[in-house]
Structure 1
């Protein structure tokens, strides 16, 4: 038996969406499905926009489905369903494992030189998972940050409120921007409910 929309998509959400090829963005209330076991839930605080978003809202690549809420490269706050551990030095895992909820996941991307102590009991009692990924480590990231600081290299961004997004898209289209627009989601997106 099919589930009702209220059961299938119980989480209320708000974004700014394009509804047609005009690319005009306006407040859009929608519902999302419940967070599943393999999902990560974020509260979006900031969201970058760029030319790929502009192409999508204008359907310039011929594959847009409306309504479309553009934006990617988000910064927000990953609940404790999962933790990505980037530390490449000796450190205790027990505090991190303790932050995970039942069936939570700890993913190691840092690579300490010496083996870490792994407390197995808290893993097995709450069915928590430990995994790894080789996408870089803290050492390389720190070297890059140190180099940027030494040479005064900074990211050029323009922080904008959500209600400036249509003007930002127009400016992107006119190539009237030298840097990345970043929408201040946390301080400017207000519910229209």
Structure 2
């Protein structure tokens, strides 16, 4: 389809797309023809070329959080090219390289939206498994095309490859935002990155781009060489090694906790300097257990962070392009996605699967 501009007097219509959908708790993904809305006045239509696979996609297709609406088409790390723009669109034009992250709408009028924190809007609409303002269920980026309000679209700089950049729309902003807002973006400061997976490896790269000292904290000794030689971390601490943990005690200004496993938090708080912060971005299933003394002694904080607003997401992708920060990816075809999910469940990926939508998933006729 040739790039076009939506006609002002065009009658409402819908467009078809092909999505990879799970229909039940087995999480098995298979092609499904879905409907996208027409390109509204404030919308852009995007031909999806790549979509990253996030661990939350795996939880969602299996209904691990008990909120899944089947059929579900996951995917919130979308990269592609605009094919059509609405008559009110000013930021983009057909042919632009763009991305869509974890949200596709909000109320756009509350204080949080006005301040640029759409991610904290009570009316946030997520990219998939959410109910949009028109009552339809949103479908994600494991699909051939999508229509999104221009406010929730980011521009990809020319220097940012679409395949390696797609995961930054979730993994990147998830670690960039807490670094920015908790003062962990200053040269010379020392940040710990707990966990070296899809989130953690990007956190290391951003921290180095900020000029910080970075220590990776992991229970897997086998990741030491990757952390130090491939990702550029300054140090590596094995969390199960009492001597290494003791040597690192009181040395870090902050810790980005990317781990979703249920692990003790208290021993990790000991790694922080006075006034240090641990920021949770992983999602353990069980409640955290921590004694008040672990926070009070040293005036330490335990806090959380959830992605970021659209202004910060564009800022993040621009900074990433400037400093050459991309995700380490394994690009797979649409026919491999179920195998990729099985491997993801076993943490058998370095560090992010990305689906080659454009070349392997046929669009609807």
| TM norm structure 2 | 0.34
**Contact 1:80/1:104 (<8 A) preserved:** no
Summarize deviations over 1:165-185 as a string: whole Å, max 9, x none: 000011111111121101001
Cα distance in 2 for residues equivalent to 1:41 and 1:145: 24
Q: Deviation string for 1:15-55 (max 9, x for gaps)? A: 11000000000010122222222322111000001100000
Decide whether the 8 Å contact of 1:9 with 1:32 is kept in 2. no
Q: Tell me the distance in 1 between the aligned counterparts of 2:90 and 2:364.
A: 35
State yes or no: 1:157 paired with 2:334: no
| 1:171 equivalent in alignment to 2:343 | yes
Unaligned runs of 5+ in 1: 1-6, 82-100, 108-132
- Provide the rounded CA distance (Å) in 2 between the counterparts of 1:80 and 1:10: 14
Give the root-mean-square deviation of aligned CA atoms.
3.0
Question: Given the alignment of the two structures, is residue 50 of structure 1 paired with residue 54 of structure 2, yes or no?
Answer: yes
Q: 1:172 to 1:9 in 2, by over 3 A?
A: farther
Hey, what does 1:59 align to over in structure 2? 63
Write the distance in 1 (CA, Å) between the matches of 2:87 and 2:43. Answer: 14
Deviations 1:103-155 (A, max 9, x none): 33238xxxxxxxxxxxxxxxxxxxxxxxxx854888x936x54544xxxx653
TM-score (norm 1): 0.61
State how 1:40-189 maps to structure 2 within 5 Å.
Answer: 40-79=44-83, 81=85, 102-106=87-91, 135=312, 141=318, 144-145=320-321, 147-148=323-324, 155-189=327-361
Aligned twin of 1:190: 362
Contact 1:45 1:186 in 2 (8 A): yes
| Distance in 2 between residues matched to 1:103 and 1:65, nearest whole Å | 32
Higher relative contact order (CA 8 A, sep 6+): 1
Change beyond 3 A, Cα 1:55–1:147: same
- Out of 29, 32, 47, the position equivalent to 2:33 is 29
Distance 1:190 1:78 in 2: 17
Q: Structure 1 residues 102, 183: CA separation in 2 closer, same or farther (over 3 Å shift)?
A: same
CA contact (8 A) 1:160 1:183 kept: yes
Matches of 1:14 and 1:54 in 2, distance apart? 19
- In 1, Cα distance between equivalents of 2:21 and 2:78: 16
Offset of residue 191 of structure 1: 4.5
Q: Secondary structure at the match of 2:21?
A: strand
CA distance in 2, matches of 1:187, 1:50: 20
Query: CA 1:170–1:8 in structure 2 vs 1: closer, same or farther (change >3 Å)?
Result: farther
Q: Does 1:12 align with 2:16?
A: yes
Comparing 8-17 and 164-173, the one that deviates more: 8-17
DSSP-derived class of the 2:77 partner: strand
Runs of 5+ unmatched residues, structure 2: 1-10, 93-309
Query: How far apart in 1 are the matches of 2:51 and 2:58?
Result: 14
Partner secondary structure for residue 45 of structure 2: coil
